[in-house]
């Protein structure tokens, strides 16, 4: 690094603290199944349970809590929808006003969401609706501001972006930790008050370890960021500073505290989410594989083309994982769902991390927030289909999800069009560069014909 810029220690502190932030806060909504366990034990929405008589001679009265389960499912559906859909307007805010403003909004939303859960009661269970939405939007905005940290590390850029998305997936295990601590005697209110207090740490990180506007790429010489001690030189100023729709899965399973077998699968699902942070960098290694080795890195248009070509294999692997996940989820054998949990973590890590890395590779950085937000908003609209899919299975299909599963597998197979389109675009650009006389392996710092001033 050039003198006067952010040192290695500061950049590593930014990387590791961002990893902790994404892994502990950003995607907690996707651990909803574990939190539902606690909320049911506390009696949230319990008034929706109705006694029903069994056909046995004793006519034992058992509670029918299907309406309670529907209410919990609705909280999760709205929260996960907001997590994706609101990324679009939040992306505009990030691109227009920069990192500090975006993070202050995220911290405000996250703090408000944790406080709403902390002070909710079974009588005020309706507070869960705005609380989960605030946690979702605040979390997605935090990770949106963190993914630019990859720009500080050059050839490891895609690896770091996918690593952060993997940490986002792993954060769903936070609600599992809350479930375990609740079973050990800690109160739900105390744990969420602690999460609210962590906002002070988010604020300190915003001031000292994040840029005021945006981290540029490529990184200018002597670039620095964040507040610094008085008397030091001023910061370098630059030109610009889980869910595919699927039928009812572990989140929608009836989670009765008295049923230990349901709890076993809930815990297994939550534990597998911890592995998201370990799986996500694999996609980054695929995307950055051409940057390693002793050969000089291509720059300019040729370097951009090499990055795009590397993304083709990433897209193929991602779509293949999603197809396998959809097939396993359709198998009506409960033990097979352990494999489904593993494939869900792999496919989700590759999907979200690869999406963010691809947008960073294929489009100008000043539009990253808007494009990432648009992609997430579209996925939110598709995710809304999970509710009518469940209604279709429980209604006209009489509880048999076979045809819905078959349709979803067919839809996922269409995604193989994506790597084909990108590969075709790579061939087109390669022909254009060849016609323009661009060398196949430009030396570092060499200007391509498109970059030579006229």
Asked if the model's pLDDT at residue 248 lies above 60, the reply is no
Inter-residue contact 328 to 344 (CB < 8 Å):
no
Which 3 state secondary structure label does DSSP give 62? strand
pLDDT of amino acid 237: 39
The β-bridge partners of 63 are: 51
Summarize pLDDT for 402-423 with one digit per residue, the tens: 888 899 899 999 999 999 999 9
- Cβ pair 166, 280 in contact under 8 A: yes
* pLDDT at residue 243 greater than cutoff 70: no
Q: Work out the percent of the chain whose per-residue pLDDT is above 70.
A: 82
**What pLDDT, on the 0 to 100 scale, is given for residue 99?**
93
What proportion of the chain, given as a percentage, has pLDDT over 90?
33
Q: Distance between CA 338 and CA 333 in Å, rounded?
A: 10
Question: What is the pTM assigned to this prediction?
Answer: 0.64
Nearest CA to 249 among 341, 311, 164, 155?
A: 341
**Left, alpha or beta for 180 (phi > 0: left; psi -120 to 50: alpha)?**
alpha
Q: Please check whether residue 221 is in contact with residue 207, taking contact to mean a CB–CB distance below 8 angstroms.
A: no
Distance CA 48, CA 63 (A): 10
- The answer to whether residue 181 scores a pLDDT higher than 80 is yes
Cα 409 → chain centroid = 22
Distances (CA, A) of 314 to 56, 86, 311, 432: 56, 27, 5, 24
Summarize pLDDT for 124-173 with one digit per residue, the tens. 999 999 999 999 999 989 998 998 998 888 778 888 888 888 888 888 88
Q: What is the mean pLDDT of the chain?
A: 80
For 96-111, what is the mean pLDDT? 94
- SS3 of 226, please? coil
pLDDT tens sequence across 360-395 = 888 888 888 888 888 888 887 887 787 788 778 877
């Amino acid at each position: 690094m050039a003198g006067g810029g952010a040192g290695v220690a500061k950049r590593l502190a930014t990387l590791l603290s961002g990893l902790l932030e994404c892994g502990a806060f950003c995607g907690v909504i996707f651990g909803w199944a574990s939190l539902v366990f606690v909320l049911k034990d506390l009696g949230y929405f319990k008034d929706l349970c109705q006694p029903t008589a069994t056909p046995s001679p004793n006519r034992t009265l058992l509670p029918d809590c299907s309406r309670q389960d529907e209410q919990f499912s609705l909280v999760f559906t709205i929260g996960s929808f907001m997590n994706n859909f609101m990324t679009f307007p939040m992306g505009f805010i990030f691109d227009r006003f920069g990192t500090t403003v975006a993070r202050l909004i995220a911290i405000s939303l996250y703090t408000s969401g944790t406080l709403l859960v902390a002070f909710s009661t079974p009588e005020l269970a309706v507070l869960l609706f705005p609380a989960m939405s605030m946690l979702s939007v605040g979390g997605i905005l935090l990770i949106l501001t963190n993914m630019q940290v990859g720009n500080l590390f050059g050839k490891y850029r895609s690896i770091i972006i996918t690593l952060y998305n993997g940490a986002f997936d792993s954060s769903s295990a936070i609600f599992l930790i809350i479930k375990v601590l609740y079973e050990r005697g800690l109160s739900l209110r105390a744990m969420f008050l602690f999460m609210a207090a962590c906002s002070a740490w988010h604020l300190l990180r915003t001031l000292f370890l994040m840029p005021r506007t945006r981290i540029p790429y490529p990184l200018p010489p002597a670039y620095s960021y964040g507040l610094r001690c008085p008397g030091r030189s001023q910061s370098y100023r630059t030109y610009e500073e889980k869910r595919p729709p699927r039928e009812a899965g572990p989140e929608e399973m009836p989670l009765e505290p008295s049923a230990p077998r349901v709890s076993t699968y809930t815990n297994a699902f939550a534990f597998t989410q911890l592995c998201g942070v370990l799986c996500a960098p694999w996609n980054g290694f695929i995307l950055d594989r051409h940057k390693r080795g002793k050969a000089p890195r291509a720059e300019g248009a040729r370097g951009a083309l090499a990055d795009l070509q590397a993304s083709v294999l990433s897209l193929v692997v991602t779509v293949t994982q999603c197809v396998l996940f959809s097939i396993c989820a359709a198998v009506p054998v409960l033990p097979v769902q352990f494999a489904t949990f593993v494939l869900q973590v792999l496919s989700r890590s590759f999907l979200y991390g690869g999406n963010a890395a691809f947008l960073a590779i294929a489009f100008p950085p000043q539009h990253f927030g808007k494009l990432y937000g648009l992609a997430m908003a579209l996925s939110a609209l598709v995710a809304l289909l999970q509710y009518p899919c469940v209604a279709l299975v429980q209604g006209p299909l009489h509880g048999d999800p076979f045809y819905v599963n078959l349709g979803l597998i067919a839809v996922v197979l269409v995604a193989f069009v994506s790597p084909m389109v990108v590969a075709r675009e790579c061939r087109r650009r390669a022909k254009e560069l060849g016609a323009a006389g661009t060398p196949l392996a430009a030396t570092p710092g060499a200007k391509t014909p498109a970059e030579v001033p006229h």
